[in-house]
Amino acid sequence: MVINITLNIKKEKAMTTKITRFAGLLLILSVMVTTGVFAQNTAAAAAAPERKTIIDYKDELKLTADQVEKIQSTLYELEKNVKDLYAKTTALDKDTADMLKSNGDLKVISGKIKESFALKADMVVNEISAGRKVDSILTEEQNKKWKEIRVSESKKMRAAVAGKALEKPAEKK
């Protein structure tokens, strides 16, 4: 009977250890996948042509000097905000990775992941807000033309990134 209880306790401890390790591996995998997605986006961005802003199309859109000034101010504020948020998310992601490596407290890790994703959502919201502010500066005709340009450039960008992704890596000799 004592031997049977001891064996059951050992089995339960082994099972608990396996579950804990599995949960840890799942969390690490999810962070790696998330980080991998961001790394792929970064690699894709590096492979893609340089991203242009509306200012690059000022002649095509026939922007006035006042419009250019207002748009530049909006873009400057966006860049400043996004840079700050990006720095914070980068630090949080590094802290999270370090805590995962050292088997840190799951509640703290969870909090850091949630905070990082909230900041990333803030970056997207800032971009949307800036885009709407820019749209409000444009005339109806300029908005129509700007939308056409964005659609065209987006197609070019996707094609360039897709082309790079489909290229075979150079063979080593």
pLDDT tens sequence across 118-170: 999 999 999 999 999 999 999 999 999 999 998 988 888 888 877 766 666 66
Q: How far is CA 121 from CA 2, 65, 124, 130, 156, in A?
A: 56, 33, 5, 14, 26
Q: Which residues contact 135 (CB under 8 A, 6 or more apart)?
A: 143, 146
Give the integer Cα–Cα distance in Å for 34 and 17. 26
What pLDDT is recorded for position 38? Answer: 46
- pLDDT tier at 107 (50, 70, 90 boundaries)? very high
What pLDDT is recorded for position 25? Answer: 43
Give the global pTM.
Answer: 0.60
Domain ranges of the chain: 1-47
What pLDDT is recorded for position 170? Answer: 63
Mean pLDDT of 68-96: 92
Give the integer Cα–Cα distance in Å for 20 and 171. 42
Q: Which residues contact 56 (CB under 8 A, 6 or more apart)?
A: none
**What does the chain come to in residues?**
173
